[in-house]
Amino acid sequence: MCGIVGFIGKEQASPVVLRALTRLEYRGYDSAGVASIYDNEILLKKDVGKIAEVQGKYALDGLPGNIAIGHVRWATHGVVNVPNAHPHTDCEGKLAIVHNGIIENYQELRHQLEGEHHFVSETDTEVIGHLIESYMKNGDPLEKAVTATLGQLEGSYAMAVISVDDPGKIVAVRRSSPLVIGVGDGEYFVASDALSFLEKTNQVIFMEDDEMAVITDDGVMLYNKKGKQVKRKAVKVEWEWDQASKNGHDYFMLKEIIEGPEAIQSAATQDKKHVMDVAMNILRAKQVIIAACGSSRYAALIGRYLFSQLASKFCDVVMASEFQYFASSIDKHTVVIAVSQSGETLDVMEGVKLAKAKGAKIVSIVNVPGSSLARMSHKALYLNCGPEICVAATKSFISQLVIFYLLAFAMMNKLDQGVKKLKGLSVGINGSFAENSQSLMTLADKLYDQGNFYYIARGINFAMASEGALKLKELSYIHAEGMPAGELKHGTIALIEEGTPVVAICPNDETYHETISNAIETKARGAFIIGISDRYNEIYDEWIKVPEVEDIFYPLSVVLPLQLMAYYLAIRRGKDPDKPRNLAKSVTVK
């Protein structure tokens, strides 16, 4: 995944790059580094660890020069160690490069270069640096050497390069990895996302695949694959830098959970004509497929129940990473709904590209404005929940649910009613947050050393069980499984033993009695039952009371306790919920 940034302007560049990098840390936090050009030299500092740790050791912001690039890493090729951290250089240290993506043919290229070039890392990125070095030997400008290099690369990349042999410019290119340019007053950024530099400028040029940007303190020149200049104006990005602060909370995750009820309001505030239009497209389509990953896929599964229950519209949900294997059934009568907070998840993007090539209509449900997915879709519905920084999805998941509710109500031609109901829900849900915080903290104290959790629910809430389990495992590293309550007896119940926590999501709806029966079956085998419900039952060892709502809205009623439970368990186990190990927020590799 990784985050990259470059800055050129009148002021010292490294402090600006460092600040931007801290906003990109959600993309990777295995290691960090910055390189600048000063006095005809590349100056470089990097190390393993989170940015604050690397900064504490090496004062990345002390590098002089008004041109610099930086990187936060999520390791793909090569272990987490200092040589593998970015920026990388060539043999003589005359250029520096930061890269996000994967070069698929790097081994082959490395073998070709090894005789003449000295490699110090195991990364695919270093190969690019050495290739550029070879082409720079001809005395070519940096952009020409980069273009020649690209001709040899297979795979995905967003990269930024600086060189002392052609100083005063950053050359940046992208293919299938995000890259945007920030245009300030006599200063320019290139970065994996606009959030990183919004403090300085909200004027953004979105780069397309196979484009190259040559950035100097005089301006930005953009070129297409054929080397022809492309004219594109910067557009204003509406997000505010302040939205991406912790606002007094210890972690972004808690702040973003608290923002959940407000997210319902913002997501429900949409252009009604646009929502109706998308809903009609879905309703009329011969086939509807929803593609998404992780939490976004669980939101999609709930959307699927809503479409079916409210609008009698059947659709399928396909894991985006498996989408390609269903491609043969896609045609121009298919609507593909791509759901992604970041709008950059490569599995989703690949699926969408494939479906688009087969003539399908693409609707996206996306949070990040101007993201690759939003730009690639025929129609986009935005979550409007502002930046989500914690790696785990919380408020964006809630907003995705809201969009599915809106679409389902629109399909019934009852959009206004749906909006009113959704907006009315946020007060009760807010109350449940305050009510449950203390008991969930106490529960975390009781259960933090358990090795396994099981989450069960039925009907529309089944995906909430899976979502609750995903939150728990990714944040606290406790193994957890979520499943339809009725499925438990077909195998998993064998794992229940004395004290095993079973989270039974059993709202007081048509599923209540059956879910309770399944919970009783686990209790008979020693399970500790945490009932998440608006209705008390004596089998609960712990009752997390949630607001009573209309049956179809129970996913929104139970979501905050599930998120909070994972949060408190992570905290109790001493884990950083904002930056879970091995994960990154924007998954731009396959």
587 contacts ligand F6R (rule: CB under 6 A)? yes
How far is it, in rounded angstroms, from Cα 458 to Cα 462? Answer: 5
d(CA 398, CA 296): 10
Q: Are 152 and 119 in contact (CB under 8 A)?
A: no
Interacting residues with ligand F6R between 301 and 340 (CB under 6 A): 340
Structural tokens at position 145: 């050497």
Check residue 195 for interaction with ligand F6R (CB under 6 A). Answer: no
Residue 552 is which amino acid? Answer: I
Q: What is the CA radius of gyration of the chain?
A: 25
Q: By CB under 6 A, is residue 296 in contact with ligand F6R?
A: yes
User: At a CB cut-off of 8 Å and minimum separation 6, what does 465 contact?
Assistant: 455, 456, 457, 482, 483, 484, 485, 503, 505
Based on CB atoms, which residue is closest to ligand F6R, 152 or 243? 243
C-beta separation of 95 from 164 below 8 A: yes
439 binds ligand F6R (CB under 6 A): no
Q: Closest approach of Cβ 429 to ligand F6R, in Å? A: 19
Contact 386, 242 (CB under 8 A): no
> Considering only 67-75, 118-126, 154-162, 287-295, which stretch makes contact with ligand F6R by CB under 6 A?
287-295
Active site residue 236: no
Q: Which of 94, 169, 523, 585 is catalytic?
A: 585
Judged by CB, which is closer to ligand F6R: 372, or 533?
A: 372
Please identify, among the stretches 17-25, 113-121, 225-233, 289-297, the one whose residues bind ligand F6R according to the rule CB under 6 A: 289-297
From the CB of 299, what's the least distance to ligand F6R, in Å? 8
Work out whether 399 is an interface residue with ligand F6R (CB under 6 A): no
Cβ atoms 513, 554 nearer than 8 A: no
Under rule CB under 6 A, residue 588 binds ligand F6R? no
Residue 371 lies near ligand F6R (rule: CB under 6 A): no
Half-sphere exposure of 321 (CA within 13 A, CB side): 9
Torsion of CA 294, 295, 299, 300, to 10 degrees: -10
Active site residue 353: no
Separation of alpha carbons 16 and 189, rounded Å: 10
Question: Which of residues 295, 476, 515, 537 is near ligand F6R by CB under 6 A?
Answer: 295
Interaction pattern, residues 347-366, with ligand F6R; x per rule: CB under 6 A? -x------------------
From first CA to last CA, the distance across the chain in angstroms is 10
Query: Judged by CB under 6 A, does residue 177 bind ligand F6R?
Result: no
Number of other CB atoms surrounding residue 239 within 10 Å: 18
Contact flag: residue 504 with ligand F6R (CB under 6 A):
no
Q: How far is CA 517 from CA 13, 148, 274, 513, 523, in A?
A: 63, 66, 44, 6, 10
What is the nearest approach in angstroms of ligand F6R to the Cβ of residue 120? 32
| Token pair for 397 | 């998941």
- Please say which residue, 89 or 321, places its beta carbon nearer to ligand F6R: 321
- Kindly tell me which of 16 and 72 has the beta carbon lying closer to ligand F6R: 72
Q: How far is the CB of 339 from ligand F6R (least distance, A)?
A: 7
Nearest residue to the partner ligand F6R, using Cβ: 294
In degrees rounded to 5, what are phi and psi of residue 276?
Answer: -60, -45
How many residues touch ligand F6R under the rule CB under 6 A: the total is: 14
Residue numbers at the binding site for ligand F6R (CB under 6 A)? 293-296, 340-342, 345, 348, 392-393, 470, 474, 587
Active-site residue list = 2, 585
